[in-house]
Structures are given as C-alpha cells and as structure tokens.
Structure 1
C-alpha cells in the first residue's frame, strides 16, 4: 500500500480583507442615515387652528400697526407695491396685499455651493442642517479655557464642517475677534469660510458702504460677476426688523444693495 500525496491547502483569496474594506468604505449617498434634503415636517407642536390664529394676528398687526423707519428707498418700493404710508410715518400693509404676495412667493429656491454637489434645493418639507451662531468665545482645545474666537478658528471650523456629511451649509459659526476693523472683518470672514469649504456659505455685511467690496471679493472667488450671478454661493443674514415694529433702517439699505447684486438674503428679525 502506498501513501497518496495530500491535497495542497488553498489560501483564501482575500475574502476577509475585502469584507473589512467594504465595512470601512463610506456609505453610498443614498444609504447615508443623514442626507441633505431629507423630508421633515412631522413635528406639529401647534394645531392648524393655532397656526391660523398666529397668522391672523400677524396680518392684523401689519394692517393696523404697520412698521416705522423704512429708508426712503424702502418707502418707495413698498408704497409702489401697495403699502400705505400714514401721516405717522408708518407703512401699513393691507391684508389682501400680504395674502397676494404670499401666494406669489417662490416655493422652490436653490442655495448654490461652489461645488454643485453641495447645492441645496429648498422646497416642500426638505430639511438641511448647517452651522450658525456667530459665537464670540470658544473653549480652546489645548488649554480648555475660554478665549476670543479668531479668524484661524473660523477657517478651521469651515474646514471641519466641509468634511461632515451631516452639515450641509456653513453659516458663519463665530466672529473673528482678532480683526477689529469692521470692513476687514466682513471680507476676511467671507474669505475664511470660502477657503475652508465649497458648501454654501452664509455671513453678513456690517453697513451699506461695505457692499461693493464684498461683491468685488465674491466675484473674484467665482471668477467673474456673471459666474457669481449664475451660481451665488453665499447668502447674507440681515436683521431688517427690530422691536417695536420698526425697520432697521441701515440693515434695510444693506439688504437692498445685496439683492441688487444677486445675493440671496436670509431675513432675521
């Protein structure tokens, strides 16, 4: 009787390594648990009746009380549209006018990123998450102590937000306290954010006279004014109304100049 040669042992062709690599790989966009534009709108803390009551109260306030301190250009725009300028200098808005304008309002808006893959389609119940806050202090990661925010911190925050899938836009999260000139702070804030991310960026403009230089900067980043107007990658936050029922005059002038230049505006009050 002769011994037969044993069969050679075959090594597995990288099956375990392949499975590990598959588990470590990023999920496909459609499989990610948090994605830009996911449907929301399921949280209803107020009933339809409650919301209608708030809406009616707002219509009453606009029609009966109105708003004071509109700049001359704003008075012209608003009265031309149907607002009524009273002897007390307040502009009142007839209920029918407000309802007409609401019915005409655009229901779909795109906030562009410098990279089209970061475009945000604002419509329906789509939800997007982003940074905000304009914090003036932070806890230093090294010393664990509070200190003023700096321009470098802002840039670093934009870079971090750029890499996070669950952050879809970068609204200025902090104020660069090491830049004391207001114009320089506006310009450097925009630059620091845009240098850190190609997602949509949000910031603000301190006064009307700064707007031309802001547009010079965004045109330079975009490549031209035409390229900017085609895909405006930045929006501006404007607090245009302040208590009690007054327009913030200078902010309204900033808003007008920004709109003329093609910049989306986030209205705050």
Structure 2
C-alpha cells in the first residue's frame, strides 16, 4: 500500500472517530441540559469532520438565490419561480460518465435536469429536498457542494432557533443574498449575528443592483457595511444584477 493510500486511510479513520465523538457529546450535553452552551463548538467540529466544503446559499424570499447559483455555475440550472419556495437544492459535481447530469427527489427516481423546469415537478414527490448532480470543473477541483436553503423568513418569532439550525446545518460557509431594494431586513441581521456566533464565514451578495442609480448603490453599500461592523474581518460584499444566466 502506497504512503498516499495509508494517509488517506488514517484520515478516514480520524474523521469517523471525530464524528462519533461529536454525536456522543451532543447526546450527553442534551441529557444534562447544557446543549445550548456547546452547540456552536459541536457545529464547528462537524464542519471540520467533512472532506468537502458545503456552501449554503441563503436569503429571504425572492432575494435571488437561484439566480446567483445559475450565475456561479454559468448554467441556467435552477428554475427561479417554478418550484415551491421551501424546496432545498443540493448541487454536487459528478464524473464525465454522467455528463448529462441528473437529479433525485424523495422518491429516489433519477430524472433529467430538464425536468427541474417542469411546473408539475412538485407532484412527482412529496420531498422538499432535491439532490442535483452535474459536471462542473469548479465544483470538482475545489470539492465544493452548493446548497440552496429554504427562505430566510422569520414570520414566526418563536421558530427562530429552529430556522437558523435548519439553514446552517452542514454549512461550512454562507453566501447570503440580499435584495438591493430592501437591504438588511431584521431577519437578515439576526441571521448574520448567528453566523458570527458560530464562527461561520459569510459573503454578502447584493442582487438587483442594476435597478439602482450609482449614488443609491453607494448609500446601500454604506448602510450594509455599517450594520455588519461586528464581523471581523469585514464581510465581503458583492453586487450582482438581475440578469439570469
């Protein structure tokens, strides 16, 4: 066995042991009533125990999450308005033998990517999670997995903790989409505070900037920068247009 294979096997064993320890510690902390105190640490360790990087694309309803993913992948992959807003997408790269790409819903049926844009897709499965597999060099070379999460919507104040836990589950870093016409709503600010608490890296992507005048965008940028000063180092803020790839 080559040294490379030996190292890979050792890394695999170490990751498995770390995963088991995290699970056992979580159960114990829940039992003794201190899970809230150590939850951020456990979440960080979970991220370290994976061998790929999960980028969570998160934002309020109609903030441009699907459009952003289409632009990043340089492919009109995700429908913008067809599917129900609470559908979660997981996008991973596959080998050349699956060049056409496919997706799998809750019924475990493999479907063509063209079916993503069909209006009757939701009736094919009661699942709100879709696993999408495409050939993409950027995803492959960096070991990235893109996850479009359900919308960031705090209509029910008592469900904030559960929503944040759902949105940040398996997230190594976050791309937060913000509508330039309605920048930094209360839900987005609260979510950013939670990311800071859990030491999760965030990039803010501001959509629909092309609908603003130059001086209006300058005001929006200053507003966002001022209200995110608690992040160190300062957050990266990227403007994007309404153009869909």
Q: Which has the larger radius of gyration?
A: 1
Q: What TM-score do you get using the length of structure 2 for normalisation? A: 0.34
Q: What TM-score do you get using the length of structure 1 for normalisation? A: 0.32
Higher relative contact order (CA 8 A, sep 6+): 2
